[in-house]
Amino acid sequence: MRRVLLTGFEPFGFIDGNSSWEAVKLAAEHPIEGAVIETVLLPVTFSGAPLSMEAAIEAFDPEVVVAVGQAGGRAAVAVERVAVNLVDASMPDNDGRQPIGDVLVADGPGAYFTGLPLRSCVEAARAAGVPAAESMTAGTYVCNTVFYRLMHLVATRRPGLRGGFVHVPLMPGQSLDGAYPTLSSELAAKAIAAIVRTALDGDPH
């Protein structure tokens, strides 16, 4: 069986729950022929999140990793193109740490591109009936940290691993005043499953 790892995040900031974890849990229930899916919940901390992700990769030895995060304000599932070697936190993480303008990996390149076949992933999510788009930035908070450290791991130690990052909108109930767009966890999960199938099938880009 081919192995796929999905990661999602715990809640952070002022919003209850985290749509990424709800979507990841549901995505893992989608049947993907010939593949077994493992999920791991990451803390929203600059120190803990990349370590938990790396430990899960060591333990599970997946062929594909799709890391998923919540992005308040987005209306579509966003397949991220680029991870930057920067952390610039607009609010404290769940450890109370707020690094400003720090480099993530001292000797690492300024940026990495996703290892996912970006356009095919977006098309596959749309074909499954879910609004999806390419995104040029995963921000400079914990999600970008996980994305960059994932791509750094691929570049330095795991050349066979295909990985990338996907942001999902808030889910209904997380924006009861209607200030932000929402997407149901079922639809977000459908998009993630479509992205996993595409990553298992396709060539990069």
User: Which residue from 32, 65, 71, 188 is in contact with ligand PCA, where contact means CB under 6 A?
Assistant: 71
Q: Give the chain's length.
A: 205
User: Which residue from 4, 7, 18, 37 is in contact with ligand PCA, where contact means CB under 6 A?
Assistant: 18
Examine the residue annotation and report whether 167 is marked as an active-site residue of this protein: yes
User: Which residue from 40, 56, 143, 170 is in contact with ligand PCA, where contact means CB under 6 A?
Assistant: 143
Antiparallel, parallel or unpaired: β 2-9 and 132-135: unpaired
User: Which residue from 44, 104, 151, 195 is in contact with ligand PCA, where contact means CB under 6 A?
Assistant: 44
Per CB under 6 A, does 89 bind ligand PCA? no
Nearest to 90 by CA among 144, 148, 147: 144
Q: Which two tokens stand for residue 169?
A: 């909108």
Q: Which two tokens stand for residue 48?
A: 């803990």
Antiparallel, parallel or unpaired: β 132-135 and 77-80: parallel
Secondary structure of 110-173 in HEC code, one letter for each residue: CEEECCCCHHHHHHHHHHCCCCEEEECCCCCCHHHHHHHHHHHHHHHCCCCCEEEEEEECECCC
User: Which residue from 4, 5, 20, 114 is in contact with ligand PCA, where contact means CB under 6 A?
Assistant: 20
Per CB under 6 A, does 9 bind ligand PCA? yes
Nearest to 40 by CA among 70, 13, 60, 11: 60
Q: Which is nearer to ligand PCA, 121 or 165 (CB)?
A: 165
Scanning 12-20, 50-58, 106-114, 193-201 for contacts with ligand PCA by CB under 6 A, the matching segment is 12-20
Q: Which residue is nearest to ligand PCA (CB)?
A: 143
Examine the residue annotation and report whether 80 is marked as an active-site residue of this protein: yes
Site map (CB under 6 A) of ligand PCA, residues 122-141, x = contact: -----------------x-x
Q: How far is CA 73 from the centre of its chain?
A: 16
Per CB under 6 A, does 153 bind ligand PCA? no
Binding site for ligand PCA (CB under 6 A): 9, 12, 18, 20, 44, 69-71, 139, 141-143
Residues annotated as catalytic are 80, 143, 167
